[in-house]
Structure formats: structure tokens, C-alpha cells
Amino acid sequence: MDAFSPAERAAHYLPVAESICRVARNDNERAFLATQAYAETKLAEAVLEERCGDMGKWACDAGLATGPYQVHRHCADAWAAPTRADRYDAGARCALRMARRCRTPEGWFAAQGGFRRCAADWAKRRVPMFWRIVAKLREKS
């Protein structure tokens, strides 16, 4: 069961939310990053605290991915930035750079797998969550 109180949970997610707000240009980009972070990591404490090794040998793509967006070494800034906030921002910028190569939400998620692809069966499963988040963001506007 979740050990976080509502206040602790908010504090836990805040750095990711702040990163999304700093980097994303619009609601679709915010929803994409939120969906990507949740789908990849469920915002696990160990991932956000950069302790993937605590989760077992296959966590964070066996140590090949980092941060809430689970970017790989081609996103060098996400690995080398001096602070966690800078690494989150760099990871978000890299994830968006890859996503912008594609035209559809499915493609944005598929592009995270690399290989310059804009379609993947697994990526379709993330699209409904993306649209729910877009709707919530537009409700708040």
C-alpha cells in the first residue's frame, strides 16, 4: 500500500510537475510528458531519487535509462546535468525533441523507443491516458 500522505505525495511529484511546466510549450506537450513519466516509471520513489538499482536489475531498462521520462544515453544532458532538476528538464527536452519528429500522440510515444519510428503497437496503449490528461488540463484553463 502507498506509504505517502497526500502532502508527501504532492511533494514527491512536485519536481516532475515543475519540470513539465518549465519545458513544455502547450497542453499537448504537458500531457505527453506526464503520460510518459507515469507510463514509464509510475513515478516510483526510487526512480525519482535516482536509485534504480534498489528496484532490481531490470529497473530503468537495466540501468540504461534515467529519470522520470526514462531517456537513454542519446540524451546525454539528462545524465550529466549538475542537479536533479536540470537532469529532469534535460530529459523532458530530449523526450519532446524525439516526439516532435512524429505527428500523432501514438507516434510521440513510439519515438521514445528510438530507431526513428513513429508507430508501435505498445504506444497505442498510452494514448487514452494522454487524452484524459489533455482534457483535465483544458478543464483547468
Q: List pLDDT tens digits, range 33-64.
A: 999 999 999 999 899 989 988 998 888 999 89
pTM above 0.85, yes or no: yes
Rounded-to-integer distance, Cα 76 and Cα 91, Å: 9
Amino acid present at 31: A
Position 85 confidence tier, pLDDT thresholds 50, 70, 90? very high
Rounded-to-integer distance, Cα 44 and Cα 2, Å: 11
Domain-located, residue 13: yes
Asked whether residue 1 carries a pLDDT value surpassing 70, the answer given is no
Domain that holds residue 88: 6-133
Domain-located, residue 10: yes
Average pLDDT, the chain: 92
Contacts with 87 (C-beta within 8 Å, 6 or more apart), sequence order: 66, 67, 77, 78, 79, 81
Is the Cβ–Cβ distance between 45 and 16 less than 8 Å? no
Q: How many domains does the chain divide into? A: 1
Domain-located, residue 139: no
Domain-located, residue 96: yes
Domain-located, residue 140: no
Domain-located, residue 138: no
**DSSP 8-state code for residue 66:** B
